[in-house]
Structure 1
Amino acid sequence: MKLLAVIALVLCTLSVKPLEMESAKILATFPFSGRSQYIFMETYLKALAAKGHQVTVINAFRNKATPNMRFIEAMKGHEFSDEMLGLLNEPFFWQQLKAMDYIVAKFTEITLEDDSVKQLLNSGETFDLVLAEMIQMEPLYAFAQHFNATLAGFSSFGTDNHVDGVMGNISPMSYNAIASSPRTNRMTFVERLSNVYETVVQEVYRHWIHLPAMEKMFKKYFPNSKKTMTAVLDSFSFILLGQHFSLSHPRPYLPNMIEVGGVHIFHNPKPLPEDIKQFIESSPEGVIYFSMGSNVKSKDLPQETRNTLLKTFAKLKQRVLWKFEIDELQGKPANVLIKKWYPQPDILAHPNVKVFITHGGLLSTTESVYFGKPVLQLPCIYDQHMNVKRAQRMGFGLGLDLNNLKQEELEKAIKTLLTDPSYAKASAVISELYWDQPEPALDRAIWWTEYVLRHKGAPHLRATSRDLTFIQLHSLDTLAGLFGVPLLVALILLKLSYKLLRGKSQKCPHADKLKNQ
């Protein structure tokens, strides 16, 4: 009997075939004119295309032809990029929310008004999956229901209370700071108080100002939508998050919220262009790499700030690679090489690169940790301030105020990172933690994407919390039933007892005599 059981088990095992993945049609939207968000997803989208999926990308810049990929280039956003970035320096939180709201509304409308996008919307085409960026551009999420597709999200900065809310994830304010703050998961009482205040203000603004404005735009561009905007917001099947617990902190996630921090990085760096390779390898004291990313441009830095950087770099023994967006830089020292674009991950992979000076964006921070490089961060906007605090707390970086940059402080910070081994050591430790994963982030992102496609949106991953009201989710109704009803009964009994005792005292036979005495 045992032999028959073993044979039956073997035959059963042989009969189970892995689910085959048919080619899917995928649409990904990148409404912002900066390249950062697209860089986060580019490797992933190309990998999907390489597996035979048909990928359509809406973005705001020129693209190289790629097999199985079609690009819709909505370029008008570049006309407003500088104006948009200038709005992000508002000093007060409410004004910051208004500025961000104006920016997302502007880029959403620019995307929907683009002729090529309109042509796609009117094409009668269908898709299997729509990937949308999680930056509160709700009308763009309607592409999914318009094309009869499953809706999925991606977030290059990771998660926040908005992303958590969409997925029904629990996000305690006590140790999850809002993404635009300089706070980390280790907050003092005052910081936690600020975090609660700003979260409440953010939610008030979102529900009373942002969402009504987005709903008007939703109805304007999708008047025949089968779903309301609220229903569209509730239809996300999964989200790819550009973070990893080794870079941020452990926190709750639902199974359809996938950490893929570093998904954009190639595990095998490409060979460097010869001039860059020669510049790096012929520097006996090593090299410093400096880039402010794709949204903040070095050429637009105030002249005083540029002069501070140039004077500091001129005094260094190390050579400096500086991502600078124009061909000429007046006063450039001989030890500085400027280029409009650098293959950043390939440069950071080189052992002769000692320090990375960056704006502190999450992609750049991830790359610095991935390759074990200490960082000097000069934050400008949004999550960059939080990333600086994390780098300082974790010991692999320092931060300075770009708007008030002093040469003495800059020199001291660079010297500290170059000479104090603790920063390189901390970076190496975190790098080891990041690398210790069961599979590369890219493989994980591809697997989950195809899993959701195979299972028609994977509705079994949907959290029940998304179907509960605030009162039900936090058990306020059951707590009221558990403690409120007994308390109410006790109050009623107390009142009845009081009336009964009072009635008895009024019927006392000696009451009149006592009154006359």
Structure 2
Amino acid sequence: MKILIVVSVLFLTWTVQSARILGVFPVPGKSNYFLGSSLMRALAEKGHDVTIISPFSENNLPKGGSYREILLPEMLAQLETRRNEINMYELGEVSPFINIPFLAYLMSEIGEILFKETNVQKLINSGEKFDAVIVEQFFSDAHKVLAYNFDAVQIVFSSVGANIWINSLVGNPSPPSYIPDSMLSYSAHMTFLERLKNTLISLLNTCVHHLYLYPKHNGIIRKYFPNGPDVHDVLYNASLVLLNSHPSLNQPVPHVPNMIEIGGFHIKPPKQLPQDLEEFLDNAKDGVIYFSMGSNLRSADLPSEKRDAILKAFSKFKQKILWKWEDDVLPGQPDNVKLGKWFPQQEVLAHPNVRLFITHGGLLSSIETVYFGVPILVIPIYGDQKLNAQLAIGNGYGLSLSYDELNEENLFQKLNELIENPKYRKNVRSKSSIFHDRPVKPLEKALYWVDYVIRHKGAPHLKVAATELPWYKYLLLDVIVVLTVIVSLGTIIMWLFLKKIYQKLYSKSKQRKLKKN
């Protein structure tokens, strides 16, 4: 009995052994930060010593281990500057062929700000050691040098699923024949023209990364780490990739062993709603339509003609409307519309009276609508939102309305179809059942795999050999060239052989004719 107790204590001590973990989440978007902080908070609550680099700060620090913040105020300043310069609602009109290189340029410029921050420089030169560095993958490859600097295991976090930014770094296959780019609203079953465009986008991404992004990030590394490694030495060094995806809402695609899906890990058990909001939802006998364009898009920035069209459509419904509206006043506000500058979205979607969710189609909103089983109307604007809208349509639990076609009539028809046709709720509940049917909760899965790669010193046994091959070997171009040469030579030799035989036969035939004559 004593031996059993000792073994149990040793086992528990081993499983909760504290590690020093650095999280690098510099993207100045609240959704990105929310994902990063959810993971880092959970690691701290498990007993780890956590440091997070981010533009945002936590109000309530987690209990358990240590949680240290290194803030990036310049990142937030850049966000506000860009927000004032760019009309977010016009981004959907930009072609991916322009958007991809522009995004690479923009994020590279913002990404260097991290190394300029005084507190980050203090950390870099502090002589501290970390067991693992978790880096958010968003045109941020230079940041991976931090794992090298701190002699730590490198973990990559993707706020979306597997994509072209990550696949090549871990040797994950991603054929454009059935895997559409995240900026395209294509299904897996693409037409010839769609496959052609998807292939061109894939080639453009590859060229942008290899001809601009990687040299640019190599320059950043050389600037701030003169004796540091080449960018290619840190690019392919990921021991683990955590993907914010799940087959219940994402297209099933290949994953190499060190790619782990943890979609929905940020969702927590619903808390008590504020009293006024709870009363509003409880008293909505005909149901509630919840409308939010996320944390980066502001409904208050909608042009007046779009806003008025939305209000006229809302006024035709007997359902109550809960609208995330960032200003104090909404001109022409109908009686059935309640405004709020912020709502606890997960708690709202969990309420049984919520009949429908109108959203921009951001990934977190898409995950939450499936998790809570609420049909969705997507008004996609930019990024992966069009692809998420296509997935909702393909899975039968939502519809999409493009921003250009957003008017009173179209909005009313889409909303009425989603409310009156029970198939959408049936389908989303089916997907929700699949989403919940897992052997372990996604957050527990994430924590396990972070501990696993630390415990096994980077878990090199999970890495595929593709990351060690030059591109021409990976694509078998050398084999193709040799086989082409062999087939070509064989064809030429066979042609010459047959030609010689033909000439002999022709010569003999000609001689016979001469003798007869």
TM-score, normalised with respect to structure 1: 0.89
Aligned partner letter, 1:255 = P
Q: Does 1:168 align with 2:166?
A: no
Aligned-residue offset at 1:361? 0.9
Q: Which residue of 1 aligns with 2:215?
A: 212
Tell me if structure 1 keeps the 8 A contact 2:25–2:36.
no
Aligned-residue offset at 1:85? 6.5
Q: Does 1:375 align with 2:376?
A: yes
Please, which of 44, 68, 81 is the counterpart of residue 70 of structure 1? Answer: 68
1:330/1:229 Cα in 2 relative to 1: closer, same or farther (>3 Å)?
same
1:230/1:411 Cα in 2 relative to 1: closer, same or farther (>3 Å)?
same
Q: Which residue of 2 aligns with 1:134?
A: 137
Tell me if structure 1 keeps the 8 A contact 2:96–2:183.
no
Q: How many residues align?
A: 498
Tell me if structure 2 keeps the 8 A contact 1:164–1:170.
yes
Q: Which residue of 2 aligns with 1:254?
A: 256
Greater displacement, 362-371 / 131-140: 131-140
Structure 1 runs of 4+ aligned residues shifted over 6 Å read 496-506
Q: Which residue of 2 aligns with 1:230?
A: 232
Q: Provide the rounded CA distance (Å) in 1 between the counterparts of 2:130 and 2:284.
A: 51
Aligned partner letter, 1:177 = P
Q: Provide the rounded CA distance (Å) in 2 between the counterparts of 1:433 and 1:388.
A: 19
Aligned-residue offset at 1:213? 2.0
Q: Provide the rounded CA distance (Å) in 2 between the counterparts of 1:391 and 1:144.
A: 37
Tell me if structure 1 keeps the 8 A contact 2:54–2:71.
yes
Tell me if structure 1 keeps the 8 A contact 2:27–2:33.
no
Aligned partner letter, 2:353 = N
Aligned partner letter, 1:78 = L
Greater displacement, 132-141 / 89-98: 89-98
Tell me if structure 1 keeps the 8 A contact 2:248–2:435.
yes
Aligned-residue offset at 1:368? 0.2
Q: Does 1:30 align with 2:25?
A: yes
Q: Which residue of 2 aligns with 1:80?
A: 78
Q: Provide the rounded CA distance (Å) in 1 between the counterparts of 2:43 and 2:153.
A: 16
Q: Does 1:192 align with 2:226?
A: no
Tell me if structure 2 keeps the 8 A contact 1:61–1:73.
yes
Give the gaps of 5 or more residues in structure 1: 1-9
Tell me if structure 1 keeps the 8 A contact 2:245–2:263.
yes
Q: Which residue of 2 aligns with 1:96?
A: 99
Q: Provide the rounded CA distance (Å) in 2 between the counterparts of 1:97 and 1:36.
A: 21
Q: Provide the rounded CA distance (Å) in 1 between the counterparts of 2:406 and 2:487.
A: 63
Tell me if structure 2 keeps the 8 A contact 1:286–1:354.
yes
Aligned partner letter, 1:364 = S
Identity of aligned residues (%): 38
> What is the RMSD of the two structures over their aligned residues, measured on CA atoms?
2.8
Q: Provide the rounded CA distance (Å) in 2 between the counterparts of 1:399 and 1:275.
A: 31
Give the gaps of 5 or more residues in structure 2: none
Greater displacement, 175-184 / 186-195: 186-195
Aligned partner letter, 1:211 = Y
Aligned partner letter, 1:33 = P
Tell me if structure 2 keeps the 8 A contact 1:375–1:398.
yes
1:350/1:96 Cα in 2 relative to 1: closer, same or farther (>3 Å)?
same
Aligned partner letter, 1:140 = H
Aligned-residue offset at 1:255? 1.5
Alignment of 1:268-287 (within 5 A): 268-287=269-288
In the TM superposition, what whole-angstrom CA distance separates every residue of 1:314-357 from its partner, at most 9, and x where no partner exists?
33212222222233333333322222221111111110111001
Aligned partner letter, 1:243 = S
Q: Provide the rounded CA distance (Å) in 1 between the counterparts of 2:208 and 2:93.
A: 16
Q: Provide the rounded CA distance (Å) in 2 between the counterparts of 1:434 and 1:287.
A: 24
Aligned-residue offset at 1:359? 0.5
Q: Provide the rounded CA distance (Å) in 2 between the counterparts of 1:419 and 1:478.
A: 58
Aligned-residue offset at 1:489? 5.3
1:327/1:121 Cα in 2 relative to 1: closer, same or farther (>3 Å)?
farther
Q: Provide the rounded CA distance (Å) in 2 between the counterparts of 1:493 and 1:405.
A: 65
Aligned-residue offset at 1:114? 2.1
In the TM superposition, what whole-angstrom CA distance separates every residue of 1:11-59 from its partner, at most 9, and x where no partner exists?
xx99x96854421111112212211112223332221111110111111
1:386/1:204 Cα in 2 relative to 1: closer, same or farther (>3 Å)?
same
| SS of residue matched to 2:312 | helix
Tell me if structure 1 keeps the 8 A contact 2:264–2:368.
yes
Q: Which residue of 2 aligns with 1:3?
A: none
Please, which of 239, 264, 267 is the counterpart of residue 266 of structure 2? Answer: 264
Aligned-residue offset at 1:448? 0.8
1:375/1:334 Cα in 2 relative to 1: closer, same or farther (>3 Å)?
same
Q: Provide the rounded CA distance (Å) in 1 between the counterparts of 2:216 and 2:93.
A: 21
